[in-house]
Amino acid sequence: MSESHAQADTGVLDDFEQEYRTGILRAEEAPPAAIGTAADLAMGAVPTTAFAVRGCILTPERKIEGGYVLVDSTSIAAVGAQRPEQVPVIETGGVILPGLIDLHGHPEYNVFAPWEPPTQYSNRYAWRDSPEYAQVIKQPWSQLKTIKGTLARYAEVRALVSGVTAIQGASLQYAGKGEALVRNVDLRIFGEHRARSIIDLSSVGDDDRRRLRAQIDAGEVTALYVHLAEGVDAKSSRELDDLIAADLLTPATIIIHGTALSRDQLGEVRDAGARLVWSPQSNLRLYGRTTLAGDALELGIPLGLGADWLPSGSANLLAELKVARRTLALQGHPMSARRLVSMVTRDAARIAGLDRYLGRIEPGRPADLLVLERRRDSPWESVVEADASWVELVTIGGNLVYGRTDWIGSLAAGAELEPVIAWGKPLSIDTTYTAGPAAAPPPRLADLRRALIARYPQVGPIFA
């Protein structure tokens, strides 16, 4: 029995383990009426007028070369080849696609430096119990735990500058912030909280299991994220049986990792209507093996992608796309660039149960957009081969949250965005989100960095 499981049996957990395992088992409390929903976000870079971006637009069905996306207030107003009249147009020369959706991460822990595992492990409990993990994660966390909100926002900035506009893995510890700097798919989003998450199934009691199942059956919970079968041993494989015994393998279930699952077990996942999220980089570095993602796709299981976290995973979702592509090819299931882009946009939105809002560029949807430099003839290849230095503009709900200083300045004159030089490019970023009246001005990126570095000088950099 591992040390962490022995602790679980006695009910004695250190602060780190207690918080790490907490997950989200209950609904976030509704925000005060003054906070409202996405339309009421207080962002610093609100465009002064409707505007359009021109470039190669990617929709799930086709590309529109030289097309226009018209943004009016928080939403996409029009998409097509006709130039909108009487609005400013940004000639991007790039690729315009929906904001990326990272379906597995640990945002509040994604501030630590990248880690080189000294060995490969049999399962996630093995590395979580290791002395090196204590040195790399637990000890720094003990220095940072008093500024948890700073950790969360810094991690959200990391996601944002790589084109991610929605992430999974946020903690209920930081509830009440409404729609965050980037959208948290397992907290309150678009005015509802219909997702839950489980880190260790063994730590979820019978009452919570029964309540979760009842909420799923009633349609109150439509997405249940469960870390499962993360490892390469029989113990990891048996976790699917545990999930079935808990009566929680359902159409709402989203299995994170599933590294140890056989093709037959994946068939059980498919038959239950469940979904799967894959983090190949972290799996390969920690275990030397990853999920049978190609088999999952062949079986028809909806498959999303997550960068996991900086210590063992990829720096961001763009980097994870490249690992996914190579791994699928090695598994004998090569995937086109177009399908890969869908995996982190439309498919991810469907898996999260948010496809009414996210994952597509079409009129009436929230204007969560990403503009990338176009460096390849194929726009889909340009996305898959991109890194964070190719990001030109990110909007969330029509707000200009990150991008080229000249573009943002032309659309939001007078907005006090923070200037940054990233990968040799003059860019501007807005970290000033507040969901309601603030007691103090929201922190800028420089403030976040200063607070983190004062306690942990090895903090993982964002622009690197």
Q: How confident is the model at residue 16 (pLDDT cuts 50, 70, 90)?
A: confident
Torsion of CA 173, 179, 180, 184, to 10 degrees: 70
Q: How confident is the model at residue 275 (pLDDT cuts 50, 70, 90)?
A: very high
CA distances from 169 to 149, 443, 451 (A): 14, 22, 23
**In the block, residue with structure tokens 């607070």:** 451
Is residue 439 over pLDDT 60? no
pLDDT in tens, 144-173: 988 888 888 899 999 999 999 999 998 777
According to DSSP, residue 136 is labeled I
Q: How confident is the model at residue 434 (pLDDT cuts 50, 70, 90)?
A: low
- Nearest-10 crossing angle of helices 317-330, 280-287: 70
Task: Give the pLDDT score at 8.
Answer: 38
- b/e per residue, 230-261, with b = 16+ CB within 10 A? bbbeeebbebbeebeebebbbebbbbbbbbbb
Which one is predicted more confidently, 150 or 220?
A: 220
CA distance 143 to 73: 41
CA distance 398 to 49: 11
CA distance 111 to 153: 10
Q: How confident is the model at residue 41 (pLDDT cuts 50, 70, 90)?
A: very low
CA distance 2 to 409: 55
Q: How confident is the model at residue 331 (pLDDT cuts 50, 70, 90)?
A: very high
Which residues share a beta bridge with 69?
53, 79
Alpha-helix runs per DSSP H in 105-145: 124-128, 131-133, 139-144
The most confident of 109-113, 147-151, 204-208, by mean pLDDT: 204-208
Closest CA to 231 of 312, 126, 136, 326: 126
137: left (phi over 0), alpha (psi -120 to 50) or beta: alpha
pTM higher than 0.85: yes
Strands (E), 202-321: 223-228, 253-257, 275-278, 303-305
- Nearest-10 crossing angle of helices 445-455, 148-160: 120
User: Phi and psi of 369, rounded to 5°?
Assistant: -125, 150
pLDDT in tens, 177-187: 555 688 999 98
